[in-house]
Chain A
């Protein structure tokens, strides 16, 4: 190269290097702020979910304790009613069955809102109860292999809600006849796997049309648990939900 050319080349090279340096600064700053922002969002989400669950637990307890005991009292009173009139007896029987239905519905609503059994007996019993309820009201057969229990109350609720929403989706959308649930623990993770043999769906389409509320909630809860969510499906291929959540109880 001509000496003049060498100087021009060096000038150009310097310019390019400066621009690359600036891009580098931008990348580092982006990574830094994304990290900060992600942590903040997660903390906010965690607080929001906690408040939501606390409110649900309060309402569920109120329903169960106040309304539930009132209904039980009414039922007892009706039971003691005696009449010789044929018509009145029929009305009394009818009232009894309405009350029974109301009690049933009430316990269903309060169970959905916050199963007391989740706090009392732990995750596996709550899931068992949930699956029994589904088997009772639908034609789905559920195989449940869940013996793992979660010590921390907030975390336990997250696990339960995730499984609940997945089962909701299966009941609502899948047309499945058989479902497999497995919750297991290895040395580092708690693994939740749920498969159904239903119609599946086009994942890319659902995601493109901005993913539904339920899936979003599942994902948020898994993020709060610092885990990962996987979903594999295809049309007529059933759905496989799988979650991999760090086991904080084993490694502090």
Chain B
């Protein structure tokens, strides 16, 4: 039923949707949204690599472990570009992330295993920053929120990284459930992923074509 490989593939590659809208919009997109669009393309690239690795070595842990660090840094940079965070804080948080990543993937575990600590850390960081950004937009924006790219993306972040934090914490307990059970738990994250990719695609379409001013808060 649900746990067919084809389903996995479709969900994973739903990132093609925002990647395509990003490509369409590329020459109109301002520098302020570029980190996010870059992240989408890197995400797509990562899915391709994962698929190849799963076929050849049956494990995509190494590239996933590296990908999450890139994802975290780019997202922080994106929040900086949206004025959600100051330059100094952004740098400190990226440094802190790298430290946590090293502790998680080098000192406590190895990059060849599926590690939770960094994933929990960065999910929470992104959730806090998203909530902060959403509050800013609500207070300052006078136009419709349903067409506000930053608002939409942050909502998707909230749901996706919320699910991610929950599942990684669950994982970290090593409760010893069966494989089928663990797969079903991950299915929740897949749906969140599918949902957020659809939102991303729509949000990218909502990026204003001309340079509106004082849009950033």
Residue of A nearest to B212 (CB): A230
Q: Is the CB of B216 within 8 A of A207?
A: yes
Of A23, A33, A203, A223, which contacts B142 at CB under 8 A?
A223
Q: Is the CB of B145 within 8 A of A30?
A: yes
* Residue A232, interface by CB 8 Å: yes
Q: Is the CB of A31 within 8 A of B145?
A: yes
Of B134, B158, B188, which contacts A16 at CB under 8 A?
B188
Docked CA distance A229–B212 (Å):
6
* Residue A42, interface by CB 8 Å: yes
Looking at A1-9, A72-80, A131-139, the stretch in contact with chain B turns out to be A1-9
Of A19, A216, A228, which contacts B162 at CB under 8 A?
A19
Residues of B within 8 A of A216 (CB): 214
Residue of B nearest to A208 (CB): B83
Of A12, A27, A41, A242, which contacts B155 at CB under 8 A?
A27
Residue of B nearest to A244 (CB): B210
Looking at B56-64, B100-108, B117-125, B178-186, the stretch in contact with chain A turns out to be B178-186
B153-174 contacts to A, CB under 8 A, are 155, 158-159, 162-163, 166, 170
* Residue A25, interface by CB 8 Å: no
Docked CA distance A234–B178 (Å):
59
Docked CA distance A23–B127 (Å):
12
For residue B147, give the distance in angstroms from its CB to the closest CB of chain A: 11
Of B134, B144, B184, which contacts A9 at CB under 8 A?
B184
Residue of B nearest to A232 (CB): B211
* Residue A211, interface by CB 8 Å: yes
Q: Is the CB of B214 within 8 A of A215?
A: yes
Q: Is the CB of A9 within 8 A of B210?
A: no
Most chain A CB atoms below 10 A, which of B83, B159, B180, B214: B214
Q: Is the CB of B159 within 8 A of A23?
A: yes
Residue of B nearest to A13 (CB): B188
Residues of B within 8 A of A35 (CB): 144-145
Grouping DSSP codes into helix (H, G, I), strand (E, B) and loop, the A interface class, with mixed when no group exceeds half, is helix
Q: Is the CB of A228 within 8 A of B155?
A: no
B194-216 contacts to A, CB under 8 A, are 210-214, 216
Q: Is the CB of B212 within 8 A of A12?
A: no
Docked CA distance A242–B209 (Å):
13
* Residue A185, interface by CB 8 Å: no
Docked CA distance A33–B138 (Å):
8
Residues of B within 8 A of A23 (CB): 155, 158-159, 162
Residues of B within 8 A of A20 (CB): 159
* Residue A148, interface by CB 8 Å: no
B131-151 contacts to A, CB under 8 A, are 134, 138, 141-146
Docked CA distance A16–B216 (Å):
32
* Residue A91, interface by CB 8 Å: no
* Residue B177, interface by CB 8 Å: yes
Of B31, B141, B180, B213, which contacts A219 at CB under 8 A?
B213
Q: Is the CB of B142 within 8 A of A42?
A: yes
Residues of A within 8 A of B213 (CB): 203, 207, 211, 215, 219, 229-231
* 29 interchain pairs, CB-CB under 8 A: A1-B180, A2-B178, A2-B181, A5-B178, A8-B177, A8-B181, A9-B181, A9-B185, A12-B188, A16-B188, A19-B166, A20-B159, A27-B155, A30-B134, A34-B141, A35-B145, A38-B141, A38-B143, A203-B213, A204-B32, A207-B213, A208-B83, A215-B213, A216-B214, A223-B142, A229-B212, A230-B213, A232-B210, A232-B211
Q: A1-B184, A13-B188 are in contact. List 4 more A-B contacts (CB 8 A).
A: A5-B177, A203-B213, A228-B212, A230-B212
